[in-house]
């Protein structure tokens, strides 16, 4: 699903990612861990095609990113990758149904089609009875589930979750992790970026970064 070979990312004199070799197979579930400044966010941005590497080769879903135009890259990202962030990024005052439906806004789908797809996605994450609620009427865990519904709306084969439980209490975080496990069991490749070693220990594989380098990549059990 994702294949990095000798990938580096530099911002001026700062090298944020150094010679990364990483292969993620379809259907995997893994954690990317490391302290602040280790390169986790840079790796997320590279793997999610939000940023291009300075050097090296990156393939996502079989496509060589270096050979794609910006327009082609945007199309690949829209079709193949879903994103969940620590900050939920939900529009204030907008019902959950329309927040999720807006995930298909740029695909030219009619509003009725977008809302039907959004309803299915919200039911999938257990929010069938909260679709008309606005963000301020939802708990933190429910807001994160809305964000996940938006991310999986088009059934992307790859889901990137950046600190998905960072703003949640332990119960809500547990519910979100159960949902991510369920999505993985359904065939989605799930990459969870986290500083929480307890969460990482529950996943089959851990990739650990330090100072922009991958210092460990292996099974957790």
Provide the domain limits for residue 77: 26-53+69-219
17 within some domain: no
Q: Is residue 145 part of a domain?
A: yes
Is position 1 within any domain? no
Residue 18 resides in a domain: no
Residue with tokens 């990156």: 58
CATH number of 81's domain? 3.40.50.300
How does pLDDT run across 79-105, given as a tens digit for each residue?
A: 899 999 888 889 999 999 999 998 877
Q: What is the pLDDT of residues 6-23, one digit of tens each?
A: 999 999 999 999 999 999
- pLDDT one-digit tens code per residue, 51-62: 999 999 999 999
In a domain, 61, yes or no: no
> By CB neighbour count within 10 A (0-12 exposed, 13-18 middle, 19+ buried), where does 198 fall?
exposed
Asked whether the beta carbons of 86 and 164 are under 8 A apart, the reply is: yes
- The answer, yes or no, to whether residue 71 has pLDDT greater than 70, is yes
Quick check: is 150 in a domain?
yes
Number of domains, the chain: 1
Residue 14 lies in a domain: no
């Amino acid at each position: 699903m994702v294949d990095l070979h000798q990938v580096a990312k530099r911002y001026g004199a700062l090298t944020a990612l150094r010679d990364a070799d990483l292969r993620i197979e379809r259907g995997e579930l893994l954690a990317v861990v490391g302290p602040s400044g280790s390169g986790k966010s840079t790796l997320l941005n590279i793997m999610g095609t939000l940023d291009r590497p300075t050097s090296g080769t990156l393939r996502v879903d079989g496509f060589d990113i270096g050979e794609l135009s910006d327009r082609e890259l945007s199309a690949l990202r829209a079709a193949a990758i879903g994103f969940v962030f620590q900050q939920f990024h939900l529009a204030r005052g907008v019902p959950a149904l329309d927040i999720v439906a807006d995930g298909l806004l740029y695909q030219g789908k009619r509003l009725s089609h977008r809302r039907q797809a959004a309803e299915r996605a919200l039911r999938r994450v257990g929010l069938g009875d909260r679709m008309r609620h606005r963000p301020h009427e939802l708990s933190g865990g429910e807001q994160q589930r809305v964000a996940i519904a938006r991310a999986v709306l088009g059934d992307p084969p790859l889901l990137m979750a950046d600190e998905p439980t960072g703003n949640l209490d332990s119960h809500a975080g547990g519910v979100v992790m159960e949902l991510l496990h369920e999505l993985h069991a359904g065939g989605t490749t799930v990459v969870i970026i986290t500083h929480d070693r307890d969460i990482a220990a529950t996943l089959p594989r851990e990739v650990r970064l330090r100072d922009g380098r991958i210092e460990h990549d292996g099974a957790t059990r």
